Structure 1
């Protein structure tokens, strides 16, 4: 199909080098499937007698799991269905169009696929994505007006949800409620549309490499296919999809801000042999100048900015092929 990225052709050398052994890599096996903590956010209404219990559940899930699911989150199924429809349309356009630098008439290239720097199959992500800073959405080319409208509606509802959850979590770790509105401006957050094509070598490559998010919070809407896995107690656990829920996870920046009270958990997406998977992620991030430092004592991490974190990550990836993360900032 002309819309599929040319994985097999582009990574032919890697495939020939590493697929001589037909054994399935044991690291891809999953011990069990779990249902993440499921939290009904309708209980956050000020007059609701269960408000305090709901706040406690959010904080506990962020501490114990680093991941949780939310329902009654204010994002309608109609909107989620609309953006999913538009997502499919944009991924199903010809591959050559997706690769055009000006496919959306934006200054920065938005389309990504695979991993150009991969030197072995473990470093290859069998996926493609469109990456949109929130401030770019309104400048999208008129031919994508329906996608622009859906993304804008999604961002308009997702940003307050992320801020609300961040403020709930912040109050438990002595962070001022004004911190997030002051530091997380629209220009610093972004939306990523993800597609994981069917993969004929699904037992040898990832859909998305194991990683920790850099964000404060990431909120994901995923389809029914599944494939998201998280590392808990040293074991990879598959997350059972819930079509009514959004998945929320803590990023590295919030782990540092909370002095390790909240956990940024390593996660990945496994590739599927015969079905494709779609997800939509909202990354709630600060500006590059925002200072990250916990108010809890003794402080585990030195004060740093997002810019410093990104620069250190780039150095580490260049030298070792992987992100080292928060350990670089331990006092």
Structure 2
């Protein structure tokens, strides 16, 4: 792999190492000293698999599919879907196109001269305050409504448009099924997300010489209703359940679905937004892409069932609070800030 395409992750890592060690004892911890920060992981786990093809069959098969989906959302917060309606050629085509995008020189990527959309490219977690907060990865993150602006990318634009359209419909369908189990009307999510802040993200995780010391993507939860992810055949994604980390076994025929923070609030904690991460690899390059199903800024987020665990808040307020927390501490706090009996200080005040 040509070094000119790589973001300066190693430079950033050593700079943070030096800052951290100098602030502690004036001694720089060199690369010969191991700094294990990635906790041990349980064995590889295959998540619940939901066959969406059952939704097109008889009533009993449809109800079985819906019941399995709701159970997976309650017990895991993550599940895989098969027969999801996105052709394999479309998924592989998107993977091929994103590899071409990431193979552009770093200088071009960092100047937003690849997708011609300012602010879409990011790498390494710019607000990291310590080596353990670095994400050994790079990404292009854009609003779904902006995908059509990729005018000059003759093959990328139609491929991405096809994926975004199908992922969006899938997210809407799954949200509707899960919502109905809570007594929510079928149009609830469509009304809030049709012209919302849903986004699409291309991820690349380069090989990392410090794989036991940094993450590919730091532990976090997703700040949306639902996330749809395609990760092909390279493992690396892990999720935390019952206080333990589990490695997710890739299924190249499946799409991965996970509950986001907003759905946890709407469900009043019936569905959980689990913390997850991507571990770095010393030798293997990894790609994935994800669709984040999100509402408009002015949409009020509240629990559908009562008594509510969370206070009501707008999506804009939620995003702004996350930005304040990350800027001050390097970490997202998320939903604990919005608990009705929250004792955490409010950084925005």
TM-aligned CA deviation for residue 14 of structure 1: 2.4
**Larger displacement relative to structure 2 (40-49 or 67-76):** 40-49
What are the superposed Cα offsets for residues 275-327 of structure 1, whole Å, 9 maximum, x if unpaired?
Answer: 10000101000111111112211111111111010111122222222111111
Match of 2:15 in 1: 13
Match of 2:125 in 1: 115
Task: Structure 2: state its 5+ residue gaps.
Answer: 19-27, 341-349
Contact 2:127–2:326 (Cα < 8 Å) also in 1: no
Contact 1:288–1:307 (Cα < 8 Å) also in 2: yes
**Larger displacement relative to structure 2 (46-55 or 60-69):** 46-55
* Shift in CA distance, 102/27, structure 1 to aligned 2, threshold 3 Å: closer
* RMSD after superposition: 1.5
Match of 2:249 in 1: 240
What are the superposed Cα offsets for residues 198-254 of structure 1, whole Å, 9 maximum, x if unpaired?
Answer: 000101000000000001000100021100000011111100111000000000000
The size of the alignment, in residue pairs, is 329
For 1:137 and 1:196, the matched residues in 2 are separated by: 22
Match of 2:64 in 1: 53
TM-aligned CA deviation for residue 179 of structure 1: 1.0
* Partner-residue secondary structure (3-state), 2:60: coil
Match of 1:39 in 2: 50
* Partner-residue secondary structure (3-state), 2:132: helix
Contact 1:105–1:141 (Cα < 8 Å) also in 2: no
For 2:265 and 2:197, the matched residues in 1 are separated by: 18
TM-aligned CA deviation for residue 109 of structure 1: 1.8
Superposition pairs of residues 148-159 of structure 1, within 5 angstroms: 148-159=157-168
* Partner-residue secondary structure (3-state), 1:204: coil
Match of 2:347 in 1: none
Contact 1:192–1:280 (Cα < 8 Å) also in 2: yes
For 2:197 and 2:51, the matched residues in 1 are separated by: 28
**Structure 1-normalised TM-score?**
0.95
* Partner-residue secondary structure (3-state), 1:30: coil
* Shift in CA distance, 295/14, structure 1 to aligned 2, threshold 3 Å: closer
For 1:236 and 1:318, the matched residues in 2 are separated by: 26
* 1:99 and 2:113 correspond: no
* 1:125 and 2:135 correspond: yes
* Partner-residue secondary structure (3-state), 1:118: coil
For 1:26 and 1:9, the matched residues in 2 are separated by: 19
Say which of 62, 65, 78 aligns to 1:67: 78
* Partner-residue secondary structure (3-state), 2:50: strand
Contact 2:109–2:121 (Cα < 8 Å) also in 1: yes
* Partner-residue secondary structure (3-state), 1:50: helix
TM-aligned CA deviation for residue 141 of structure 1: 3.7
* 1:2 and 2:4 correspond: yes
For 1:253 and 1:160, the matched residues in 2 are separated by: 18
Match of 1:135 in 2: 145
TM-aligned CA deviation for residue 45 of structure 1: 1.6
* 1:315 and 2:324 correspond: yes
Match of 1:213 in 2: 222
For 1:165 and 1:124, the matched residues in 2 are separated by: 33
